[in-house]
Amino acid sequence: MIRLVFLLFITTVISSSVYRPIVLMHGIIASAHDMDELAGWLRTSFPGIYVTSIEIGNGAEDSFLWPLEKQVEHFCRHVLADEHLRQGFNLLGYSQGSIIARGALERCSLPVHNLITLSGVHQGVFGVPYLIMLPAQFRELITKYAYEKPVQNTISAANYWRDPDRLKRYTSECHFLPDINNEHEVRNETYRANMLKLNAFVMTYSDIDEIVAPRHSGIFMGYAPNSLHVETWNNSRQFTEDLIGLRTLFEQGKLYTFTSHVKHQDVPHKPNKDFLIKNIFPFLNNTLS
């Protein structure tokens, strides 16, 4: 009896004091250091927490010169090799990191509790603003030849270039996004099952984002076919056919969206600090049980 009480006591102490670890995934043309400021706030708010920021390859260059298939494989290898993460973690991806994080969760069945994406690109990008971040010689390759294999194999942004006038080519020839969004003829039920294991899926976008087009891609909305108007959730195939389980998550009250008001590059930085602490930190304030 005494032993049992002791055990219960120990279990309570341990489980109430160990915050669930957090994995951070940076955006395009950036390295893991871009997430340092946010990691610092997390360590201050949740004393003793394990926070790790994944670096893809050599950092900034590989973030756009590695196709996303490879970036996701790399991400999964890192995470699965980290013994601190074995019991589960919360996952936060920023910008391009949003779909690396989600792709990794879907493909590698990672033990993620809450998935959080900040100003992500879930329904792709289309248009010049996003390309401004890339070296000039790459821009035309994407606007003209995005769906050609050599481009798909070389530039990460081509893997989520969603041209509303060429949606058929996007679906059949774009290597990454149509796959993790389950837009192919044959769905991957594992992807959906893994999404439905989430406790919460939290997405944000910024109403003054000057890089991601359309901005609403951050909350999984994209251009309607042959138009530059953003399609509402309930009109989009992603929701009507519940391709990766978003509608189910919504109906279960597990889907959250927030609108921030900062420039794209400022999303994980000081100008967005209050927004993040108020809206996002509550989803990271949980312990391993």
Ligand X SMILES: *[C@@H]1O[C@H](CO)[C@@H](O)[C@H](O)[C@H]1NC(C)=O
From residue 281, alpha-carbon distances to 42, 45, 95, 274, 277 in Å are: 8, 9, 18, 10, 5
Nearest residue (CB) to ligand X, 105 versus 212: 105
By beta-carbon proximity to ligand X, the closer residue of 116 and 142 is: 116
Q: How far is CA 140 from the centre of its chain?
A: 26
Find how far residue 213's CA is from the centre of its chain.
16
Binding site for ligand X (CB under 6 A): 45, 107, 188, 190, 232-234, 281, 285
Measured from the CB atom, is 76 or 133 closer to ligand X?
A: 76
Structure-token pair, residue 141: 């390759």
Q: Find, among 73, 52, 71, 72, the residue nearest to 62 by Cα.
A: 71
Cβ 46 to ligand X shortest distance, Å: 6
Nearer to ligand X, 43 or 139 (CB): 43
| Smallest distance, ligand X to C-beta of residue 183, A | 13
CB of 30 to ligand X, least distance (A): 25
Check residue 125 and report its DSSP letter: B
Closer Cβ to ligand X, 9 or 281, answer by number: 281
- Residue 132: CB minimum distance to ligand X, A: 31
Q: Could you give phi then psi for residue 185, rounded to 5 degrees?
A: -50, -50
For residue 289 the two structure tokens come to 């049980």
Rounded to whole angstroms, how far apart are CA atoms 221 and 241?
14
Q: Sign of the C-alpha dihedral, residues 171, 172, 175, 178?
A: positive
**Could you tell me the strand order of the sheet in which 89-94 lies?**
51-54, 22-25, 89-94, 112-118, 200-206, 255-260
Catalytic residue IDs: 95, 209, 264
User: What's the angle, vertex CA 81, arms to CA 78 and CA 84, rounded to 5?
Assistant: 105
